[in-house]
Structure formats: structure tokens, C-alpha cells
Amino acid sequence: MLRAMRTRLALHTLASLAVAGSVAGAVAGVLTSACRSVTGAPPQTTLPAPTPSAAAPRLVLLVVIDQLPAWSFAEKAPLLTGGIARLIAEGAVYTGEYPFAATFTATGHATLGTGATPAEHGIFANDWWDRSEERSVTSVGTTSGKAPTRLRLPALGDQVLGAGRGGKAVALSIKDRGAILPLGQRATAVVWYDAKSARLTSSAHYGPSPAWLERLATERPIRPRLEQAWTPRDPALLLAATGGPDDAEGEFGASGLGRAFPHAPANTPDPARAFVMTPLADEVLIEAALAAVDAEQLGADDAADLLVVSFSAHDYVAHAWGQESWEALDLLLRLDERLGAFLAALETRVGKDRLAVVLTADHGGAPLVERSRKAGRAGRRIPYDEIEAAAEAAAATVAGPGDHVAMAELPTLFLSQTARALPTELRARVIDAIAARLEQVPGLAGAWPVATLVGDCDARPAPLALFCRSIDRERAGEVYFAVAEGTVLHDRAWLEATEHGSAHEYDRLVPLIVVEPGRAAPLPSSPASRVSMLRVAPTLARLLGVPVPAGAHEPSL
């Protein structure tokens, strides 16, 4: 028997969210319909510093659940009874809409921190081909370590520390990009997981490693806990809620964890890497967040502090087993429970009326290909090397045999140094030939020369406006390609249950919950409204009482 529902108010709120983010609504639309209600990004303006609310918070908590689509959340939310359920009941519930197609961890976290699109903040993918270095680089990777040097705009950490009001900014994530990009160049502490050492770490960019982080590594080491196996708490609930077996078709597992429960990191080739896709990863993050709150005295005075906690395990689990899997649901139920205890602990420290919480996701994700097919929807997996081979063949018809492609990974394809050195007219013909050939690849929705997509994004029709806002004109490749509905791209050696990175609603729509002290939650009487995710950074700035990041151009919620 499924767990009991909560109050009528919570149910009404959930029903509203379900209508706005249901599978039918989020999956059925083609690219054109997916874009029809996008919030356009108006010309950039400088917004004034916000006026703090009457019950100004001392601590503002941003919770990011990596890869949590609105359609999947709507299905699972009625089963939640812990911290997320409480936020739904107490807060304003929206369906957040990313107004661009580059729905990745790095782009989403950069947008949450800056209030800008990838075309503006520069983080248009998790990684890309760097023409000056002739290699693939990551969004936060540098030759000397991890840092936000590729982020073009100030983010929330810059605002908090630059305001001169004594506020602090701390971010924690399993992923380096999930911790670094929401805060930007300045932070009190930025922490993520290093699989090589099986411990949480930081960056010299932000100064010496915090003393409390070193103590935590000694007092609560991760490596001994890798012996813990992940077993489902309630198999009957998982079976009833997902409507399928544990090892459903299309679930692949990853890092040696296998398709079905139990999942034992200790039995994998690299337990410290397998750890990131288990509930222990969430547990470790919350432990570290509480240690940071105590050591940094977050929320101890009237200078509002920012705490960002980004839960990466949910992205890893979805990639390995799918949003519809037993694993994804069991993980979310456990996080819901842990967040309840976490919120209670924070309120004990700072006071219930001085804590503000925003919960959301950095991007969504596609339904499982096999389930889509069974439901009569499109579904296909394409290895990236199939796209590269098609591009190479097309380029050869114009420029002759050779190595013309350096890298193809959503959202763009990069020409090799040899192809870039071709005469201008010949290079343009190569680009056009590649775009025309990719148009014919089953599972792709289209391809365009990047030069034709940049600039005047808001004046472009859908879905071209979404593509335009996704492109950094200096860093992007030469050909932009888009996936058709239901298509999952992957490396041939790394099969994935699901992916993201498209303009489809299942990738762009996410839950957004705002709980603000002193403001009663609205009673929903119609489906939850869609709001632009560009409004999250201004909302957090308002709650913190600091100026809005310079690149933000939409109002606070």
C-alpha cells in the first residue's frame, strides 16, 4: 500500500504541479510546442539592490537536486513525507523553466548563480573543445586545479562577499561544478568530492582548505563506509510506484554496480567512484553542510549567509538506471527524509523564522527510451561516434579525406585544427555539408551552422531562440545539433538509461519551491505557474539583502 497522503493543502499543491509537469504535458510536445511559453530574456538592465523582507532571514539555503525533471517529480511527490513534503506544504510551488536548450549540470548551476543564460555567462556545456589548447576542457578545470575562471559573470558568492555586510557564502556538492559555479569567483568555502582520495576537498582558488573540512575527513572518513551496500527500504512500495521490476529494460547500472539491487560499492573495481551514485553521497553532503554551518557560524547574526547544497547522486543514478527506476525513487525518498532532519537542525541553530529555503534542479531528463517506446512515443539511443562519422563523411565530400572533426558533444560539433585552417569559403562549405548531413541522422532534430544562430536571441522564433541562448559565440563549436524528442546520446562504451541537454520540456522544466519567512504560502487554485529560472538568482539576492548579480535581468519572485 502506498504511503498515506498528507494534508489537503499539500495535495492541492501537488496536483497543481502534476498538471503543469505531467508526463503527457512535458513529453508530448515537439520542439515548437516546447518553446511556446518560454519567458523571453529582455535586454539586459541593471536591477536595483532589493529591499529585505520584514522577516529578513539569517540563512538562505539553496537546495539543488541534480537532474530532477518536473514530470518525474510530479509522479514521486505524493510519496514524500519528509523535508521536501514540508517545503511543498509551506512554500510557493512553481514549475521552473530554463529558457535555453543547454540543459547540463554546469549550465544550470551557472544560471542559478548568475541569473543569466549560457550565451551570457559563458558556461554552455559541462565540457568543450578549447581551440587554443587543442583539447577538451571542463567548465571549472584549469591547469592548476578547479576554479570559476571560465564563468564570465559575477555570481551569488561574489554578491554576498562583495556587499561588505559580513555575510558568508558556502557551497557543497559531490560535483566540482555544482559547488563552484553558483558562487563564482568569491566564496567563504567551496567543497566537493574527490574520488581519487575518497574525501571532500576544496580549491586553492578560494584559499586554504577549511580547518573544519580537514577535521571532518578525520572524524567521518568516507572510505570505511564504502563497505555499505545499498538495498531498497521498501521493495513493495517501489514496485507499486514504478509499475515495473527492479531490473527494467533500459537500465544499465554503472561503475560495476549492476542493474538490480543490492548495489555494493565494495564489490566494484573502484568503490570510491561508485560511491557517488549511492544514498551515502547525500548523507556525506548533509554531514559536511552541518559541519560548515557550525564552523563558519552561518546564520549566527543578522548578516544573511548563503548555503548551497547540490545533491549530485540523483543525476548519476538517473543516468545509470533512469528516472523511472527503483533506484531513483528509493534515493529521493531517502533524501526527503534526510532533508527533514537537516531543516530541523538548521532551524535549531538559526530559528524557524530566520531560515529561507529555495529547492530546485539544475536540469531535467528524458524518460527511459524503452518506456517511451512501449507508450507509443519516440525513443532512440545514438552513440556520439555515429554523429562524428556522419560529419567526417560529409566533410570529406567537400574537402577530401582527412580528420575534420575534433569533438562532437551536445550542443555543438567542433572542427579540427586542420579543418579550421581551410580557406574561408571552403571551410564554410564544410560546415554547411556537415549540418546538412546531420539533419539526416535518425534521432536528430536538426543541425545549423553556429554562426547563423548567435545574436538577437529574443527576436528569433522558437526553437531557435532556445538554441541561441545556449551558445557562447567564442567557445562553441562550428555546428549546432539538436536531438529529436526521446533521443538519448551517449558514448559507445558508456550506455546510459537517460540523458539531458535538449530543448524539450522534459529537460527544461523543473520543480521550484520557495519558502520565505514571514510570507504565507499561496493557496493554489489553478495549475502551478511556469516561471523563468533566470528569476532564481534575483530571488536569492533579495532574500540575502544583497545586490542582484550584474548579469541578471529578470525580477525576483
Domain CATH number, residue 384:
3.30.1360.150
Shared domain for 406 and 316, answered yes or no, is: no
Shared domain for 401 and 532, answered yes or no, is: no
Long-range contacts of 267-275 (CB under 8 A, 24+ apart): 270/195, 271/226, 272/195, 272/196, 272/198, 272/222, 272/223, 272/226, 273/195, 274/226, 275/193, 275/195, 275/198, 275/222, 275/226
Shared domain for 160 and 89, answered yes or no, is: yes
Residue 492 is predicted with a pLDDT of: 85
> Within its chain, how far is the Cα of 78 from the centroid?
23
3-state secondary structure at position 267 = helix
Residue 328 is predicted with a pLDDT of: 98
Residue 32: pLDDT band by 50, 70, 90 thresholds? Answer: very low
Could you identify the residue written with the cell 578545470?
141
Instruction: Report if residue 3 sits inside a domain.
Output: no
Instruction: Report if residue 287 sits inside a domain.
Output: yes
Residue 6 is predicted with a pLDDT of: 30
Instruction: Report if residue 549 sits inside a domain.
Output: no
Residue 529: pLDDT band by 50, 70, 90 thresholds? Answer: confident
Instruction: Report if residue 167 sits inside a domain.
Output: yes
Q: What is the mean pLDDT of the chain?
A: 90
The residues, any chain, with a CB within 8 Å of residue 67's CB and separated by 6 or more, are 105, 314, 315, 318, 319, 323, 361, 362, 363, 364, 365, 500
Q: Return the minimum-mean-pLDDT range out of 37-46, 197-206, 314-323.
A: 37-46
Residue 248 is predicted with a pLDDT of: 96
Q: What letters, b where the CB count within 10 A reaches 16 and e where it falls short, cover 502-522? A: bbbbbbbbbbbbbbbbeeebe
C-alpha cell at 240: 507499486
Shared domain for 462 and 507, answered yes or no, is: no
3-state secondary structure at position 264 = coil
Q: Is 47's pLDDT higher than 80?
A: no
Shared domain for 329 and 351, answered yes or no, is: yes
Average pLDDT over residues 58-80: 98
The DSSP H or E segment spanning 425 is helix 424-438
Q: Which of 307, 362, 364 is nearest to 536 (CA)?
A: 362
Q: Is 130's pLDDT higher than 50?
A: yes
Other residues' Cβ atoms within 10 Å of the Cβ of residue 352:
11
CATH code at position 307: 3.40.720.10
Residue 522 is predicted with a pLDDT of: 56
Shared domain for 354 and 328, answered yes or no, is: yes
456-510: pLDDT as tens digits: 999 999 899 999 999 999 999 999 999 999 999 999 888 899 999 999 999 999 9
Q: Is 31's pLDDT higher than 50?
A: no
Residue 300, CA distances (Å) to 190, 348, 350 in order: 19, 11, 6
Shared domain for 147 and 225, answered yes or no, is: yes
Other residues' Cβ atoms within 10 Å of the Cβ of residue 403:
12
CA 115/CA 154 separation, integer angstroms: 10
Could you give the percent of the chain with pLDDT greater than 70? 89
Instruction: Report if residue 489 sits inside a domain.
Output: no
pTM beyond cutoff 0.75: yes
Instruction: Report if residue 497 sits inside a domain.
Output: no
CA 18/CA 67 separation, integer angstroms: 17
Q: Is 48's pLDDT higher than 90?
A: no
Residue 322 φ/ψ region, left for φ over 0, alpha for ψ in the -120 to 50 degree band, beta for the rest: left
Average pLDDT over residues 236-261: 97
Shared domain for 113 and 71, answered yes or no, is: yes
CA 92/CA 143 separation, integer angstroms: 43
Q: Are 393 and 436 in contact (CB under 8 A)?
A: no
Half-sphere CA count of 311, side-chain side, radius 13 A:
29
Long-range contacts of 338-341 (CB under 8 A, 24+ apart): 338/82, 338/83, 338/282, 338/283, 338/286, 339/63, 339/82, 339/83, 339/84, 339/87, 339/286, 340/82, 340/83, 340/85, 340/86, 341/82, 341/83
Position with higher pLDDT, 428 vs 518: 428
**Rg of the chain, C-alpha, whole Å:** 22
For residue 506, which phi and psi values (nearest 5 degrees)?
Answer: -65, -20
402-453: pLDDT as tens digits: 999 999 999 999 999 999 999 999 999 999 999 999 999 999 999 999 999 9
Other residues' Cβ atoms within 10 Å of the Cβ of residue 417:
11
Shared domain for 305 and 384, answered yes or no, is: no
Shared domain for 276 and 419, answered yes or no, is: no
Q: Are 391 and 437 in contact (CB under 8 A)?
A: yes
Average pLDDT over residues 190-219: 97
Q: Are 253 and 322 in contact (CB under 8 A)?
A: no
Pairing of strands 530-532, 141-142: unpaired
Average pLDDT over residues 520-527: 50
Q: Whole domain around residue 223: which residue ranges?
A: 8-26+58-374+503-544
What is the total count of domains within the chain?
2
The residues, any chain, with a CB within 8 Å of residue 253's CB and separated by 6 or more, are 259, 263, 320, 321
Shared domain for 479 and 516, answered yes or no, is: no
Instruction: Report if residue 268 sits inside a domain.
Output: yes
Instruction: Report if residue 555 sits inside a domain.
Output: no
CA 101/CA 410 separation, integer angstroms: 10
Q: Is 368's pLDDT higher than 50?
A: yes
Q: Is 91's pLDDT higher than 70?
A: yes
Shared domain for 395 and 522, answered yes or no, is: no
CA 479/CA 484 separation, integer angstroms: 16
CA 180/CA 192 separation, integer angstroms: 9
454, burial (CB in 10 Å: exposed 0-12, middle 13-18, buried 19+):
middle
Average pLDDT over residues 270-298: 98
Task: Summarize the chain as % helix, strand, coil (round to 5).
Answer: 40, 15, 45
